[in-house]
């Protein structure tokens, strides 16, 4: 994970077995949509609006607006490396096949990661254990071609421009996919993994220093 966070170091790919799980999970979502079965997060509102049924022609707009409304982080952006690790972990979670996302959307996320087209994520705004909704929304927003991205050539630029220069197509969310993109705690996991790595290095250095300080 640490190496994946480094610019242009490491790439990811979707294993065929994982892809099969993702496709099977998506079939369940598609069946629900086609039969008009009412299921929370697929064809209903969220939270207090969970009792509001959303018509089929507005399901995509529902997911887009979920991402836009939750992209409310603030403060300085996370470093490019931390945002890369965040995206890598989210790809890993979605590849498990429990979220109902389409395989083609997951492949688009992977393509953006491998091209080093990484959305800019504000450092403040997560609600912690209840889910990293704001940070993950900023990840999704950038992949949708909205908001800002770290440019592989350096600096920050509008996401749509960065994707276009990399010959990548912005993600278009379908039913439930906005919810799938943001329902998780990958920022906590990403920062926690970095802390463990840094603590391990500090402990090893402390041992080396102590050893070198002793008289033989």
Residues marked active site are found at 40
Q: What is the spatial distance between Cα 119 and Cα 126, in angstroms, rounded to a whole number?
A: 16
Alpha helices (runs of H) in the chain, residue ranges in sequence order: 2-5, 16-35, 59-70, 80-94, 103-114, 133-143, 159-165, 177-182, 186-213
For 67, phi then psi, to 5°, come to: -65, -45
Q: What is the DSSP letter of 12?
A: -
Distances (CA, A) of 123 to 1, 92, 127, 129, 174: 19, 22, 12, 16, 28
CA–CA distance, 121 with 2 (Å, rounded to integer): 18
Instruction: Identify the three-state secondary structure at position 214.
Output: coil
């Amino acid at each position: 994970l640490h190496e994946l966070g480094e610019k242009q170091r490491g790439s990811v790919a979707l294993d065929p077995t994982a892809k099969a799980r993702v496709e099977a999970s998506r079939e369940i979502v598609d069946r629900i949509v086609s039969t008009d079965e009412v299921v929370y997060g697929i064809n209903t509102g969220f939270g207090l609006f969970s009792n509001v049924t959303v018509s089929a022609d507005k399901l995509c707009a529902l997911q887009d607006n979920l991402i836009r409304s939750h992209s409310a982080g603030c403060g300085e952006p996370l470093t490019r490396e931390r945002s890369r690790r965040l995206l890598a972990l989210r790809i890993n979670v979605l590849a498990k096949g429990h979220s109902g996302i389409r395989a083609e959307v997951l492949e688009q996320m992977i393509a953006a990661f491998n091209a080093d087209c990484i959305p800019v994520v504000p450092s403040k705004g997560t609600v912690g254990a209840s889910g990293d909704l704001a940070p993950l929304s900023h990840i999704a927003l950038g992949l949708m071609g909205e908001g800002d991205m770290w440019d592989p050539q350096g600096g920050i630029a509008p996401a749509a421009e960065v994707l276009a220069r990399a010959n990548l197509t912005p993600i278009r969310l379908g039913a439930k996919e906005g919810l799938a993109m943001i329902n998780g705690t990958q920022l906590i996991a990403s920062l926690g993994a970095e802390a463990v790595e840094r603590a391990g290095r500090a402990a090893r250095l402390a041992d080396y220093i102590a050893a070198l300080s002793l008289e033989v």
